[in-house]
Amino acid sequence: MCIRVKEIHHGRCYVAAAMHTPGPPVQHVPDLPQALRSVPLRTIAPTSALVLVFFSAWLAADRRLPELAISLLLTAVAVAATVLAQRRRLDIAGVLAALANAGGCLLAAWVLQHSALAWTFLVLISNFFIVRYEVAAPVNLALVVGLLLQPGLLLAPIQPQALAVIVLTFGFGHRFSRRLQGDRSRLEQLASLDALTGVPNRRALERTLSQQIIGQRESRFRHALVVLDIDHFKDVNDRHGHAAGDAALSDLAAILRFELRDRDQVFRFGGEEFVILAETGTREALERFTERIRKAVYEALRGPGGRITISLGGAMYAGEQRWQDWFARADAALYEAKRKGRNSAVIAG
């Protein structure tokens, strides 16, 4: 729904970014809790593997062969989680580590009985920090149920306090994990968005391009970078004040969001410069894409001094190993467009 109409042209409604609702669905902000989980996960997973190795050695010395087989299996799971965590495959690593923790705790309780209950508290809390709570909650719940099913462990008359502490630990860990994940997600989203225009900022751009470079080869070569900025933006600020400049940036972001397709993304790189990551497929399609964007801005963007135009430089992905090299080609094309007189688009060869 349009809240503040800046320009209506051929049925299009462009709305200032600061007042648009809802936000564009194409922008994706990486999940901060996943990034934060990497630190405890890379500590807890190898620690669990080491503890299980020592437990397996003790079982072997005590000739508990069935329990030893289970312990070795859990050790292998914990080792796999450690390797995957080091390779930043955090989701599957977290699941494996949580399963190894819970399984090891159940096995220790089966063998050592009440002596092993202290490990339960560590596992219930640590699982919430190494995997999403949607996974940690059922794994921890299965652990509690497994402990309850072991005869004489928690339901014995002398163990009501242990059962109460385990239930409280489970509930506290679940609640705290959900609250922490929600708060951190909101903080990450705020840190990745430009406050003025509402589009992702340079930090989000660098993260997205780094992921793009290591993505599927066929997909990479179908994408293009477009670098654009407002022509004579300094004049807008100098003649009409910074409020007019801010309004121009906000309105430009709204126009770009409206014109982009679902699979495209726009970022504010800094100052009056924006970057578009677009899936165009071919150089010819990129030429048509940039011209459409240039024309849409030319027809719709206005300031106190009249029409405001943009210049654009585009570059198809050409096998660069670093996203900075890809960006440099598009940026050089932008400067060529400026040299040609502005209000134009140039595609890198």
* Cβ 45 vs Cβ 81: under 8 Å: yes
Checking phi first, is residue 9 left (phi over 0); if not, alpha (psi -120 to 50) or beta?
A: beta
In DSSP notation, 16-48 reads: -GGG-SS--TT-----HHHHHHHHHHHHHHHHH
DSSP E strands in the chain: the ranges are 5-9, 12-15, 223-230, 265-270, 273-279, 302-303, 306-307, 310-316, 345-347
From 134, 218, 272, 336, the catalytic residue? 272
Q: Phi and psi dihedrals of 54, rounded to 5?
A: -65, -40
β-strand partners of 313 = 227, 346
* Cβ 229 vs Cβ 310: under 8 Å: yes
β-strand partners of 265 = 277
Concerning whether 272 is annotated as a catalytic residue, the answer is yes
Which positions are catalytic? 272
